[in-house]
Amino acid sequence: MDRLDNTVRPYAWGSTTAIPRLLGTEPTGEPQAEMWMGAHPGAPSRTARGTLVEVIDADPEKELGAPAVARFGPRLPFLLKLLAAGAPLSLQVHPDLDQAREGYADEERRGVPVTAPHRNYKDANHKPELVCALTEFDGLCGFRDPVRAAGLLDGLGVDSLKPYVDLLHARPEDAALREVLTAVLTADPEEMARTVAETAAACDRLGGDYAPYAGIAHHYPGDPGVIAAMLLNHVRLQPGEALFLGAGVPHAYLDGLAVEIMANSDNVLRCGLTPKHVDVPELLRIVRFESRDAGILRPEAAPDGEEVYETPTDEFRLSRYVLPEGGATHDLTLDTAQILLCTAGGVRAGGHDLTPGTSVFVPAGEKAEVTGAGTLFRATVVV
């Protein structure tokens, strides 16, 4: 069992206090957005045996387990994170596996450098993800019913939004959502900036259901993503609640601290709330234009006190243990690799004492007994 030394990414949208508060360290004054736990080549976790990439590469079957290597190849198929949003992340979608393979092959064929700012596909993998709140956590997830979205826009009293309101009422659902998102993202930038300014002022004045969009507009003045965001469901997760984001579902995280797990991919198509490249034609190919509710997940009880967040993907499986004072020892041994992350209290895993924000990598088949009083998240795969 290897204690992990993990990299914290200083993205501009990150909270300056949430991760230091969890770790019990002093804030640096700089944003601390994500702590990465895993074997992503961009920031692999470090162990006493080398980086986790080096450890796995030396003997994939021993570290990951033969069933996992047969199913997913000689790599850890998931990336676990602590995510601390102090400002909204970009509005985005992820491709499915076929779309990712096609898009990656196309950009490789056209010679688009992987580091190019207009490159969409950094790899040939999909990126389903699950985010589980540790604090109250605000986000946007999936399209609202078009009629409800029309009512929200109409209630602002902004004349330049009227064409979008009419489209949302007049078309079948998929066509309505497609036409409005296309119109918002391809509008004249100066005209859209004025519309966003008027929208932001109205959201500030009205508050209530409009308050989240006022906050978004404050961070991204003039960005068409502010209007696109109003087509989506706003959701506030309570600690322990989660969202699963499948392919083609537009989403953004707004504020709060969470555990996030995803397939090991960097593929993102952006819809707005970002200075980065927005490839509108490719985005429209990927987005699923269908309304849905936000789909809040709560953990389901499993044997031995485990609580599982059920999702339709096999690249990762996230669960948690809430261990009481004086409770029994739990044997977490598996025939697949796992990462254990403490988020509250104190837990002893093998020979390691885990405090909030600390984690270990457990190779396949390695004895994994845990005791203590605290909350422990477990990340592994389904084979």
| Confidence at residue 326, expressed as pLDDT on a 0 to 100 scale | 85
pLDDT surpasses 90 at 328: no
**Partners of 276 in the β-ladder:** none
Nearest to 38 by CA among 260, 252, 244, 258: 260
| Confidence at residue 171, expressed as pLDDT on a 0 to 100 scale | 80
- Write the CB contacts of 120 (distance below 8 Å, at least 6 apart in sequence): 103, 107, 267, 268, 269, 279, 282
pLDDT average, residue stretch 275-283? 92
d(CA 312, CA 296): 14
Confidence at 262, pLDDT banded by 50, 70, 90: very high
pLDDT average, residue stretch 310-316? 96
pLDDT average, residue stretch 98-117? 94
d(CA 20, CA 252): 23
| Confidence at residue 192, expressed as pLDDT on a 0 to 100 scale | 96
pLDDT average, residue stretch 344-367? 96
| Confidence at residue 266, expressed as pLDDT on a 0 to 100 scale | 84
| Confidence at residue 352, expressed as pLDDT on a 0 to 100 scale | 96
Confidence at 327, pLDDT banded by 50, 70, 90: confident
Q: How far is CA 83 from CA 8, 11, 86, 104, in A?
A: 10, 11, 10, 27
| Confidence at residue 272, expressed as pLDDT on a 0 to 100 scale | 92
pTM of the predicted model, to two decimals?
A: 0.94
State pLDDT tens for residues 185-202: 999 999 999 999 999 999
What do you get for the CA distance between the two ends of the chain, in Å?
21
| Helix 189-206 and helix 211-219, axial crossing angle in degrees, nearest 10 | 140
pLDDT average, residue stretch 51-57? 97
State pLDDT tens for residues 127-143: 999 999 999 999 999 99
State pLDDT tens for residues 335-349: 999 999 999 999 999
**Burial class of 16 by CB neighbour count within 10 A (0 to 12, 13 to 18, 19+):** middle
Average pLDDT, the chain: 95
User: Is-contact 279 121, C-beta < 8 A?
Assistant: no
pLDDT surpasses 90 at 170: no
Confidence at 31, pLDDT banded by 50, 70, 90: very high
Cα 121 to the center of its chain, rounded Å: 17
State pLDDT tens for residues 82-101: 999 999 999 999 999 999 99
d(CA 159, CA 142): 26
CB 301: neighbour CB atoms within 10 A? 8
Which single residue is written with the structure tokens 């957005």?
33
| Confidence at residue 369, expressed as pLDDT on a 0 to 100 scale | 95
pLDDT average, residue stretch 160-170? 95
| Confidence at residue 64, expressed as pLDDT on a 0 to 100 scale | 98
Which single residue is written with the structure tokens 């080096």?
54
Give one word for 348, left, alpha or beta, with left for phi > 0 and alpha for psi -120 to 50. Answer: beta
Letter string b/e over residues 120-138, b meaning 16 or more CB atoms within 10 A of that residue's CB? bbbbbbbbbbbbbbbbebb
The three-state DSSP-derived secondary structure of the chain is CEECECEEECCCCECCCHHHHHHCCCCCCCCCCEEEEECCCCCCCEECCEEHHHHHHHCHHHHHCHHHHHHHCCCCCEEEEEEEECCCCCEEECCCHHHHHHHHHHHHHCCCCCCCCCCCCCCCCCCCEEEEECCCEEEEEEECCHHHHHHHHHCCCCHHHHHHHHHHHHCCHHHHHHHHHHHHHHCCHHHHHHHHHHHHHHHHHHCHHHHHHHHHHHHCCCCCHHHHHCCEEEEEECCCCEEEECCCCCEEEEEEEEEEEEECCCCCEEEECCCCCCCHHHHHHHCCCCECCCCCECCEECHHHCEEECCCCCCCEEEEEEECCCCCCEECCCCCCEEEEEEEEEEEECCEEECCCCEEEECCCCCCEEEEEEEEEEEECCC
CB 8: neighbour CB atoms within 10 A? 21
Q: Beta strand 232-237 with 137-143: parallel, antiparallel or unpaired?
A: antiparallel
Point out the residues that are catalytic.
Answer: 270
Which single residue is written with the structure tokens 């009293």?
157
State pLDDT tens for residues 207-232: 999 999 999 999 999 999 999 999 99
pLDDT surpasses 90 at 169: yes
